[in-house]
Structure 1
Amino acid sequence: MPQRVLVADDDRAIRESLVRALELEGYHVVPVVDGIETLTRARRDAFDALVIDVMMPGVDGLAVCRVLRAEGDHTPVLMLTARVETPDRVAGLDAGADDYLAKPFELDELLARLRALLRRASFGGGDGQESGTALRVGSLLVDPAARRAWWADEELLLSKTEFDLLELLVRNEGIVLDHSTVYQRIWGYDFGADSKNLAVYIGYLRRKLAAAGAPSLVHTVRGVGYTVRRP
């Protein structure tokens, strides 16, 4: 059975181009034109992934994503945006998007990112490995089976990607993971040296750990990557 993808974009040319490209790749595509229709279809039907434009009339893509996440819908979301500044990317990720792609984009890159999201969803985790063994670094406790994490007695409220990244780093405590390795393990695709996705999520983890009272755990090795070390 083909995987079902909802495409939401009020730009007819972009929407029709995406539908053609995705159908040629074997996906079953449902196109919609605004945020209200996106919410209606996403609530009514099951999809394997959602491709949502940020700038839509009425209810925009960020609001759509926030509502779906608040309702417990964890369908992978690839956000399309004409806004490329870091605060705009952060806003998309804060809303619960799994990835973002700036317009104008190459169809090949969109298809690659969509495949990566679908692979991650099918595995249920960043590295495709599930383990019932809790992981600990000092007072940081990560439970892969329950997909929950705590610093001391305070639970960390993490998105799916944030949890996947934290679990990967904790599993490899003391080992410096380069950018390419992290991208492949978490996103299933190496977005290249110019991508800011990883830096944004590292910033998220650091802020959430700091808000829980944790000392510096996630360290940057300049020019190489990231690692977790005990305080």
Structure 2
Amino acid sequence: MKILVIEDNESVSSMIELFFAKEGIEGAFAKDGLEGYQRARETKWDCLIVDWMLPGMDGVTICRKLRQEQYATPIIMLTAKDSESDQVLGLEMGADDYVTKPFSPLALMARIKAVTRRYAVPQHEPLEEGIIKTAHFTINHITREVFLDGKPVLNLTPKEFDLLYHFVQHPKQVFSREQLLDRVWGYDFYGDDRTVDVHIKRLRTKIATNNQPFFHTVWGVGYRFDETIGDGK
């Protein structure tokens, strides 16, 4: 596993580097945001770990710019900002997860394993077994491709893909935030369950059409995926 860490705090970087060595992870480190952004684009990584506050270019800007360029590698944001609004902002800019400082290496490792496991492509599976077709969508879980009415959807983050794939497998079934965190995130989530709201909002923006919102809010319960025409509240 190759991971790029963009972090200007030497003590934090040293802690992560020692833990990576123990886990057999090949880690690379950048202290400047602009340098980290450039290295992220130049090399294929399994995961990015990005600090919020950085010289040169802050972590939120890095995340936003990479996602605008259809960058699909999982991104975990490190932040000393523990307010709900700051965490939601990081997710809205395209981060797949966040870890609040101070943190334990074990907690960070759990997040890394979760996002990379979800994003990994199981090469040994037959292609047909990973494909789901619905009235509007064709989703290939192996290549992680999504087609909406025959046209490719190119700007989904790994977690957005996982969420869409889960809903498509369970059409019209209502899921609470807690159920989605358990089934899609797949580990004990330490943050706010509004993470789910942010990801649903982004999916609506990226895949909804004028007549098909696809994701529907069931007030007081959660969300359901329905390809029938509706108001998409």
TM-score, structure 1 length as denominator?
0.78
Q: In 2, Cα distance between the equivalents of 1:200 and 1:171?
A: 21
Q: In 1, Cα distance between the equivalents of 2:215 and 2:201?
A: 12
Which consecutive residues of structure 1, in runs of 5 or more, have no partner in the other structure?
none
Give CA deviations for 1:76-125 in whole Å, capped at 9, x if unaligned: 1111112233332232223222211222223222110100111012138x
Contact 1:206 1:216 (8 Å CA) reproduced: yes
Query: Which of 67, 70, 73 matches 2:71?
Result: 73
Query: Which of 139, 164, 167 matches 1:144?
Result: 139
Query: Which of 37, 52, 55 matches 2:50?
Result: 52
**What RMSD, in angstroms, separates the aligned Cα atoms of the two structures?**
3.2
The match for 1:14 is 12
Query: Which of 214, 223, 228 matches 1:226?
Result: 223
* Structural mapping, 1:19-30, within 5 Å: 19-30=17-28
- Residue 166 of structure 1 and its aligned partner are, at CA, apart by 2.3
- Indicate the SS of the match to 1:78: strand
The match for 1:197 is 195
Q: 1:58 to 1:164 in 2, by over 3 A?
A: same
Larger deviation, residues 178-187 vs 207-216: 207-216
- Indicate the SS of the match to 2:57: coil
Aligned length: 219
* Structural mapping, 1:120-131, within 5 Å: 120-123=118-121, 131=130
The reply on whether 1:113 has 2:102 as its aligned counterpart is no
Contact 2:8 2:54 (8 Å CA) reproduced: yes
Larger deviation, residues 207-216 vs 69-78: 207-216
- Indicate the SS of the match to 1:101: strand
- Indicate the SS of the match to 1:105: coil
Larger deviation, residues 214-223 vs 54-63: 214-223
Q: 1:149 to 1:92 in 2, by over 3 A?
A: farther
TM-score, structure 2 length as denominator?
0.77
Larger deviation, residues 16-25 vs 50-59: 16-25
Q: In 1, Cα distance between the equivalents of 2:84 and 2:10?
A: 27
Contact 1:22 1:29 (8 Å CA) reproduced: yes
Larger deviation, residues 91-100 vs 184-193: 184-193
Identity across aligned pairs (percent)? 34
Q: 1:30 to 1:130 in 2, by over 3 A?
A: farther
Q: In 2, Cα distance between the equivalents of 1:76 and 1:93?
A: 12
- Indicate the SS of the match to 1:84: coil
Contact 1:149 1:156 (8 Å CA) reproduced: no
Q: In 2, Cα distance between the equivalents of 1:166 and 1:40?
A: 30
Q: In 2, Cα distance between the equivalents of 1:167 and 1:197?
A: 17
